[in-house]
């Protein structure tokens, strides 16, 4: 008989998790800081969402509607979906974790891509599953590599489209090819956190693929273009069976009333979303070109952020640049944990933040060469 441990022991996999390290929030002792580390919108939330949160403050003693009907109905109306096939969560992070929990058993494999969003690895390990990393080509997910990684143990594939932190995306024809190549019992999770920002005719967030298949789920978030990251709110659209499974394991009140009210107001405020898209359409190319003119390499991005590469491979330049910018109150994101030690990720900010960051990087490159 094996000896029992002397203290509570987490399940296999849990202690293999490197806890997610959020972007730096603050630089102390400064009154003006440009926060460009977490892909937050520079435009704040929709005024309608702010009003909805304020109105909800008078009723905080009440449990929220556990099925978030008002929010699911508003989302369904906006996208022409069946509200019964939507589940809301405390951020899409919660939904990604619930999907892993529901579909991955200890010892099962789940696939994500080389520079894919790190929450996937955490979600897989948290269930006792085995993360399988599919190599990327040119910092872009490769359908062939993902399909080559599938084994009889594969239960789930996470694909961020566009991906964070690379900003690259797969055209919808490639997503379809991926889906066609997967066995029917493998769940394909399309994380479309940045879908609203994408301006490419060959892109689709996956709504139609979800509607026409039994093994595809799309997740969305209110944290990015809607500017509601503080509230923790996301949603998924999936097959009825998947929705049923997630509804059985989620907390009965997993989304708070202020978040439900704000989300319903935000999703209906198309003018606000259009303004945010227009802002990004102006400043994403501007930032990309300005950084390239400094001699830096920028991965073409479909999101509201860019991945900026510094010349040396060991990451010293990127780390030095990060410190140089932090000293000037500009917070970008180190992405060494994503296998990108020589790069920094920069969120598209307001005009002042974008211009200040380019100027600071110009000064950095001048002084350090």
Binding stretches for ligand PLP (CB under 6 A): 39, 91-93, 117, 160, 164, 191, 193, 221, 223-224, 229, 234
Q: Which is nearer to ligand PLP, 64 or 162 (by Cβ)? A: 162
Beta carbons of 344 and 334 less than 8 angstroms apart: yes
Neighbours of 286 (CB within 10 A): 15
Q: Which residue is nearest to ligand PLP (CB)?
A: 91
> Strands 333-334, 343-347: parallel, antiparallel or unpaired by DSSP?
antiparallel
Q: Which is nearer to ligand PLP, 117 or 197 (by Cβ)? A: 117
198 Cβ contact list (under 8 Å, min separation 6) = 162, 169, 302, 303
Q: Which is nearer to ligand PLP, 167 or 239 (by Cβ)? A: 167
d(CA 156, CA 191): 13
Q: What is the DSSP code (8-state) at residue 137?
A: B
Q: Which is nearer to ligand PLP, 167 or 329 (by Cβ)? A: 167
State in angstroms the smallest separation of the CB of 314 from ligand PLP: 26
Q: Which is nearer to ligand PLP, 145 or 229 (by Cβ)? A: 229
d(CA 122, CA 176): 26
> Strands 297-299, 234-237: parallel, antiparallel or unpaired by DSSP?
unpaired
State in angstroms the smallest separation of the CB of 169 from ligand PLP: 11
Q: Which is nearer to ligand PLP, 117 or 272 (by Cβ)? A: 117
Helix (H, G, I), strand (E, B) or coil at 201: coil
State in angstroms the smallest separation of the CB of 89 from ligand PLP: 8
Token pair for 201:
């005719």
Beta carbons of 276 and 225 less than 8 angstroms apart: yes
State in angstroms the smallest separation of the CB of 92 from ligand PLP: 4
21 Cβ contact list (under 8 Å, min separation 6) = 337
Q: Which is nearer to ligand PLP, 22 or 152 (by Cβ)? A: 22
State in angstroms the smallest separation of the CB of 193 from ligand PLP: 4
State in angstroms the smallest separation of the CB of 333 from ligand PLP: 11
State in angstroms the smallest separation of the CB of 93 from ligand PLP: 3
Beta carbons of 168 and 162 less than 8 angstroms apart: yes
Beta carbons of 358 and 331 less than 8 angstroms apart: no
């Amino acid at each position: 008989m094996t000896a029992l441990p002397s203290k509570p022991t987490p399940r296999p996999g849990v202690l293999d998790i490197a806890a997610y390290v959020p972007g730096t929030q603050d630089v102390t002792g400064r009154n003006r800081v440009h926060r460009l580390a977490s892909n937050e919108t520079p435009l704040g939330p929709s005024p309608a969402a702010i009003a909805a949160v304020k109105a909800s403050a008078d009723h905080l003693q009440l449990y929220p509607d556990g099925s978030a009907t008002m929010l699911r109905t508003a989302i369904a109306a906006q996208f022409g979906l069946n509200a019964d096939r939507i589940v809301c969560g405390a951020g899409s992070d919660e939904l990604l974790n619930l999907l892993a929990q529901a579909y991955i058993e200890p010892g099962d494999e789940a696939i994500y891509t080389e520079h894919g969003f790190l929450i996937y690895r955490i979600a897989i390990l948290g269930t006792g599953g085995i993360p399988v990393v599919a190599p990327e080509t040119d910092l872009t997910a490769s359908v062939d590599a993902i399909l080559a990684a599938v084994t009889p143990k594969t239960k789930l594939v996470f694909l961020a489209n566009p991906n964070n932190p690379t900003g690259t995306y797969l055209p919808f024809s490639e997503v379809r090819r991926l889906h066609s190549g997967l066995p029917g019992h493998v769940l394909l999770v399309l994380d479309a956190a940045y879908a609203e920002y994408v301006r490419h005719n060959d892109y689709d967030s996956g709504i139609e693929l979800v509607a026409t298949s039994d093994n595809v789920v799309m997740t969305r978030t209110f944290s990015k273009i809607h500017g509601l990251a503080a509230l923790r709110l996301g949603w998924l659209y999936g097959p009825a069976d998947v929705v049923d499974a997630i509804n059985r394991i989620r907390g009965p009140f997993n989304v708070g009333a202020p978040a439900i009210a704000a989300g319903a107001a935000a999703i209906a405020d198309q003018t606000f979303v259009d303004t945010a898209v227009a802002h990004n359409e102006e400043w994403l190319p501007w930032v990309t070109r300005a950084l390239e003119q400094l001699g830096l390499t920028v991965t073409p991005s479909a999101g509201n952020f860019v991945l900026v590469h510094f010349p040396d491979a060991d990451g010293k330049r990127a780390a030095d640049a990060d410190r140089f910018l932090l000293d000037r109150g500009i917070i970008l994101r180190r992405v060494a944990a994503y296998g990108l030690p020589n790069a920094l990720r920069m969120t598209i900010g307001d005009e002042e933040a974008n211009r200040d960051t380019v100027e600071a990087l110009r000064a950095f490159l001048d002084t350090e060469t």
